[in-house]
A and B are shown apart, each in its own frame.
Chain A
Amino acid sequence: MHEHIQQRIQSIIQNVEQLPSLPDVVSKIINMVNDPDVSFKHVADEIAKDQAITANILKLCNSAYFSKGKEISSIDRAIVILGLKEVKDIVVIATTKSVLNKVIVGYDLARGELWKHGVAVAMLAKKIATECNQKAIADIAFTGGIIHDVGKTVLALFVQSTFKEILNTVTEKSITFQEAEKVVMGFDHQQIGEQVAIKWKFPKVLQSIVRYHHEPMNAPDDHKMIVSIVHIANTLCLMAGIGIGSDGLYHELNYDAIKLLSLKDSELEKLFADIPELMMKAKDIL
């Protein structure tokens, strides 16, 4: 292990300013949506405070993926037509793009690839949740999908300088890339991502998704289901090559996650086969 790298990562985590930032409105909206007594007006007012975000959100509301056919020209209307949870996810898309839509060196992801990956995993996770009778948490799966790899944006520079060593560790020890990240650098991208989610004041369930998306069975019991959903969506998107980087498929497809969701082979294959159509629908989000 490279102790100087571990120390540098440690100091980044401690000086939270060095982690990516997000406007406060995002965590406010996420927490409001979880509050059963919240008023529509309150949420709309909170969003409307930020004009730049508002314009962007309205554009997204009318995109092929979110639109319900009716033109939406105000946040109030958006909440009425699309619902609070959907508007919350649109707020997440509008605000996290600048964090994720970057060149990710080390992982060899060109500009836009990590963003596309997040959006793809989000859409597929939402679809899996809906089809596995977990509709109530489908929106959380979506948000989690968007941000699950956010740790890569911070870890990338260190991966770049140690890449060969990480890959050698993968083959020599027969462990996954993310496990090898920890062996070589002292941290993996899940742990850094969790720190980002904490900085952003995101709820525990989203922290769990980011922290355990490659090892769903290590998530807290009450989050195992949703982490498994994002885990499977992530695996399928990587297999389809969407946002696949230098870490490739050097990951695990966790069988217990498939069992937990009672997904049949044919259903998994169908989800995989549907990815191109899902990506077509997302064109104007990317």
Chain B
Amino acid sequence: MDNLLNIGVAQLAVAENPVIMRTILGSCVGICVYERNKKIGGMAHILLPKNPGNANPEKYADTAIPMLIQQMLKKGCKREFMTAKIAGGASMFKFKSTTTLANIGENNVEATRQALAKFSIPIVAEDIGGSAGRIIDFFLEDGRLKVKASGDEKIYYKV
């Protein structure tokens, strides 16, 4: 696939049809925002919920999401045509529940919801939690999201 754009951990990017954006998730959350009129999409791969201050903004849900949306608006996207799909936020199958590490996945999802809500961007599909790793492909052709987890594939079409 020539159009494949790999997004690494703590990275974000904005691209347009016919690009396919891909990332691989554990406890991280992949945020896929689609502007259906312009067929422009943005993906962020966040590692942790809250930026402690002036750390790398792409790493944290509360700073990466505003940055992603800003970049999309700059490309002429309209907020009212934007929707989001989120995936990831898994946690270790076995752990002692008192370690904060155990809750990182959940906290990432929560912070992602809050950040998207601030911009009034609805989450139209989510594939989150559990203990599966996920490979996600975000097709900017129509905004669909393919999630491969535990050997199975699901496709979320709603935009």
Cβ of A250 and Cβ of B93 under 8 Å apart?
yes
Residues of B within 8 A of A (CB): 8-11, 23-28, 45, 47-48, 55-56, 59, 88, 90-96, 99-102, 104-105, 130-133, 135, 148-151
Residue of B nearest to A167 (CB): B150
Question: 7 tightest A-B contacts by CB?
Answer: A244-B133, A276-B10, A252-B94, A248-B133, A241-B26, A255-B96, A248-B132
Residues of A within 8 A of B102 (CB): 253
Q: Which of A167, A176, A240, A242 is the one whose CB lies under 8 Å from B94?
A: A176
Q: A249 touches which one: B24, B26, B56, B148 (CB < 8 A)? A: B26
The residue on B at minimum CB distance from A232 is B101
- B-chain residues with CB within 8 Å of residue A269 when the two chains form the complex: 48, 100-101, 104
Please name all residues of chain A whose beta carbon is closer than 8 Å to the beta carbon of B92 when the two chains form the complex.
Answer: 235, 239, 249, 251-253
Chain B residues near A277: list those with CB within 8 A.
56
Q: Do B56 and A239 touch (CB < 8 A)?
A: no
* 16 A–B contacts, CB within 8 A, in A order: A163-B151, A240-B9, A240-B28, A241-B23, A241-B25, A242-B24, A246-B150, A248-B133, A250-B93, A252-B93, A253-B94, A253-B96, A255-B99, A269-B100, A272-B104, A276-B11
Which residues of chain A have C-beta atoms less than 8 A from B26's C-beta? 238-242, 244, 248-249
Is the Cβ of B95 less than 8 Å from the Cβ of A252? yes
Cβ-Cβ contact count across A and B, 8 Å cutoff: 119
Q: Which residues of B contact A248 (CB under 8 A)?
A: 26, 90, 130-133, 149-150
CB distance from A28 to the nearest CB of B (A): 36
Q: Which residue of A lies closest to B59 (CB)?
A: A276
Nearest CB in chain B: distance from A225 CB, A: 19
Q: B7 to chain A: closest CB distance in Å? A: 11
CA distance A244 to B94 in the complex (A): 16
Give the CA-CA distance A274 to B73 in the complex, in Å. 30
Would you give the shortest CB distance from A202 to chain B, in whole angstroms? 28
A245 at the interface (CB under 8 A from B): yes
Q: Which of B8, B148, B150 is close to A279, meaning CB atoms less than 8 Å apart?
A: B8
Whether A108 is near chain B, meaning CB under 8 Å from some CB there, is yes
> In the complex, what residues of A have CB within 8 A of residue B100's CB?
265, 268-269
B29 to chain A, nearest CB (A): 10
Q: What A residues does B24 contact at CB under 8 A? A: 113, 241-242, 244
Select one of A163, A236, A251 contacting B93, CB under 8 A. A251
